[in-house]
Amino acid sequence: MVEKLLDKAWPAAFALFLALAALPSLVFLVLVLLGYLPLYPALLAWGVCAAVGGTFSILLGRDLVVMTRLVRALRLAPGTLPSETMLLVPGMRQLGQEAIRLIHAERLSRARQLAIAAEDRALVERLPDPLLKLDEDSKILWRNDSALSAFGGEMAALLRHPDVRDALAEAAEIKVAVRREVVLSVPVARDLDVTMIPVGGPVYMLVNDRTHERALEKMRADFVANASHELRTPLASLIGFIETLRGPAADDPEAQERFLGIMAEQAARMQRVIADLLNLSRIEITEHSPPKELVNLPPLLERIVAGMEPMLKANDSRLEVEVPADLPKVPADADQLTQVFVNLLDNALKYGKRGGVIKLTASVAPDTRFEPGGVAISVADDGIGIPREHIPRLTERFYRVDKGRSRAIGGTGLGLAIVKHVVNRHRGRLLVESEAGKGSVFTIWLPGRGG
Ligand code: ADP
């Protein structure tokens, strides 16, 4: 190692030697030529000078190489110091020690900086709000875990949104943070507050999902409006009957019996409306986060069918079930799906023919109307059917084709609204096919594990 060091030191040592020895040699030569110095003593003096100069040049050349290596280590920050750090020329030794101290200080501060950078990175990684780093063309350079779990496959749609693009362009141009409210409409409506924060070249995009809060606000307003509208009539009629029972019918047991029957019916209806409205609200609150649990549909449908037996019997109807036992599991909320199929089967009974046939079928996405993968479940009846113009509005709250009939058979007008919101939460699809007078088919497609 020492030899190698000396090998490297030779050029510097030689250059130093030339620089140191050139002038004295010239002086000796001139003095000898002019006869001021005899040749041999002059050669002896020159030899001593050259030996001292040479030794000093070699030592200094070697130290210069050691110093160069030290400084290079400082620049490149390698894992270890160079193997040789000892400096031999007296003044150089202090210089070398200072260099080593500098290297240590530099490494320490670099390690501290790396630790701080790692903490900063961990903070943004774990930030509960989605954060993305974009270039000026909306290309994602980096994103945190929250962004992935909040948007997943919908990230491209979000970045393509005109308001998001506008905000990005504006922030990049004016170099100041820009905030926008963005409404995503597909696959489910989402209210987002997007802030673009330019940091030189790239722009950070911070997303605050306000869907939940806004859904809550809207839900409260809708609930009050719908509930008061739907409950006012039966409540007014209850009050009317109470007055009649206290007054004109006070001594008429027959009328009392009849009125109490109607009152019980009205009260039960109000109870159903309130239960359905509360259910709908609960489903809406969870709508933005698709279920993750895997559900095996055949046993779930079997339980629902078993529960329908008494109603089928009372209506003289028959239920044909065609559900393959090996249907693949789908990500779903079992309770919410139960509600969906109970509502559909209940409607098939209510609006089906007395003594008719209801068919419950399930298959692995059977035709081109649905994306490949996933499962389609249909409930078909041979009842009154639905005129074409009503089909697009069926899932609106309290929408009924025939208000009187729906009320008479205990409907709340909320069953299909519940179905739609559950299907939305599952990122599925609801398809209604019907022909007035012939019957209806309600098909639900649920995406498979990959969807
Ligand atoms: P309801 O409580 O009134 O049944 P839904 O939301 O379940 O409320 O249904 C809304 C309307 O859609 C019903 O009032 C009815 O007019 C129509 N409808 C639903 N299912 C069927 C069906 N299987 N056949 C005919 N019409 C139906």
Are 176 and 218 in a shared domain?
no
- Kindly list the protein residues whose Cβ atom lies closer than 6 A to any atom of ligand 1: 343, 347-348, 350-351, 381, 383-386, 394, 399-402, 406, 411-417, 440
Half-sphere exposure of 121 (CA within 13 A, CB side): 7
CB atoms within 10 A of CB 232: 10
**CA–CA distance, 194 with 179 (Å, rounded to integer):** 6
Q: Does pLDDT of 146 surpass 70?
A: yes
Among 16-20, 164-168, 335-339, the minimum mean pLDDT is found in 16-20
Per-residue pLDDT at 433:
96
Same domain? 35 vs 164 = no
Q: Does residue 78 have a pLDDT over 60?
A: no
19 and 110 assigned to the same domain: yes
pLDDT at 12: 78
State what percent of residues in the chain have pLDDT above 70: 97
Q: What is the pLDDT of residues 212-268, one digit of tens each?
A: 888 788 878 877 787 788 888 889 999 999 999 999 988 999 999 999 999 998 899
Ligand 1 atom with the smallest distance to the CA of 406 is 3
Which of 174, 209, 244 is a domain's end point? 209
DSSP labels, 118-183: HHHHHHHHH-SS-EEEE-TT--EEEE-HHHHHHHGGGHHHHHHSHHHHHHHHHHHHH-S-EEEEEE
More confident residue, 385 or 87: 385
Nearest residue (by CA) to ligand 1, atom 4, is 411
Distance 370 CA to ligand 1 centre (A): 24
Q: Are residues 234 and 330 in the same domain?
A: no
Helix (H, G, I), strand (E, B) or coil at 193: strand
Compute the distance between CA of residue 326 and CA of residue 317 in angstroms, rounded to an integer: 27
Same domain? For 408 and 365 the reply is: yes
In a domain, 126, yes or no: no
Secondary structure of residue 295 in the 3-state scheme = strand
Q: Cα of 405 to ligand 1 centre, how many Å?
A: 10
Q: Is 400 a member of any domain?
A: yes
Q: Does a structural domain hold residue 125? A: no
Q: Torsion angle of alpha carbons 399, 400, 401, 406, nearest 10°?
A: 180
396 against 103, higher pLDDT = 396
Number of domains in the chain: 4
Q: To test ligand 1's pocket by mutation, which of 394, 407, 421 has the most ligand atoms within 8 angstroms of CB?
A: 394
Last residue of a domain, one of 289, 320, 354: 289
What CATH number is associated with residue 266?
1.10.287.130
The CATH number for 137's domain is 3.30.450.20
Residues 406-410: contacts with CB under 8 Å, at least 24 apart: 407/269, 409/350, 410/268, 410/269, 410/272, 410/350
pLDDT of residue 4: 66
pLDDT tens digit string along 402-446?
A: 888 887 887 889 999 999 999 999 999 999 999 999 999 999 999
In this prediction, residue 3 carries a pLDDT of 52
Give 144's pLDDT tier (boundaries 50, 70, 90): very high
Assess whether 234 and 181 both reside in one domain: no
Q: Cα–Cα distances in Å, from 136 out to 100, 162, 192, 194, 199?
A: 44, 14, 21, 16, 12
Q: If you measure from the C-alpha of residue 400 to the centroid of ligand 1, how many angstroms do you get, rounded to a whole number?
A: 6
Which among 396, 398, 406, 443 is the best mutation to test ligand 1's pocket, defined by most ligand atoms within 8 Å of the CB?
406
User: Rounded to whole angstroms, how far apart are CA atoms 151 and 94?
Assistant: 60
| Residues 229, 216 contacting (CB under 8 angstroms) | no
> Residues 283, 330: one domain?
no
433 contacts: CB under 8 Å, gap ≥ 6? 440, 441, 443
Q: What is the pLDDT of residues 200-209, one digit of tens each?
A: 889 999 999 8
User: Quick one: 157 and 181 in the same domain?
Assistant: yes
Distance 308 CA to ligand 1 centre (A): 18
CB 300, CB 334: distance < 8 Å: yes
Please state which of the ranges 18-22, 155-159, 253-257, 324-328 shows the lowest mean pLDDT: 18-22
Asked whether residue 342 is domain-assigned, the answer is yes
Ligand 1 centre and the CA of 386: distance in Å?
9
* pLDDT tens, position by position, 351-403: 999 899 999 999 987 677 888 889 999 999 999 999 999 999 999 888 889 88
Question: Residue 104 — left, alpha, or beta (φ > 0 → left; ψ -120 to 50 → alpha)?
Answer: alpha
pTM of the model: 0.59
Q: Which domain holds residue 220?
A: 212-289
Q: Under a CB-based contact definition with an 8 Å cutoff, are residues 177 and 208 in contact?
A: no
Which range (39-48, 95-104, 172-181, 314-323) has the least confidence? Answer: 95-104
Ligand 1 nearest atom to the CA of residue 412, by list position: 2
Q: Is there a single domain that holds both residue 312 and residue 196? A: no
CA 85–ligand 1 middle distance (angstroms): 89
Average pLDDT over residues 10-37: 85
Whether residue 406 is contained in a domain is answered as yes
Mutate to test the pocket of ligand 1, among 269, 347, 391 (most ligand atoms within 8 A of CB): 347
Q: How far apart are CA 17 and CA 131, in angstroms?
A: 64
Query: Which pLDDT value is given to residue 366?
Result: 65
Helices (H), 36-143: 39-76, 90-126
Rg of the chain (C-alpha set):
43
- Domain co-membership, 278 together with 316: no
**Average confidence (pLDDT) over 162-187:** 91
Considering the domain boundaries, does residue 93 fall inside one? yes
Strand partners, 198: 203
Q: Which of 161, 193, 209 represents a domain boundary (last residue)?
A: 209
In sequence order, which residues have a C-beta less than 8 Å from that of residue 126 and are 6 or more positions away?
Answer: 144, 145
DSSP H or E segment with residue 350: helix 334-350
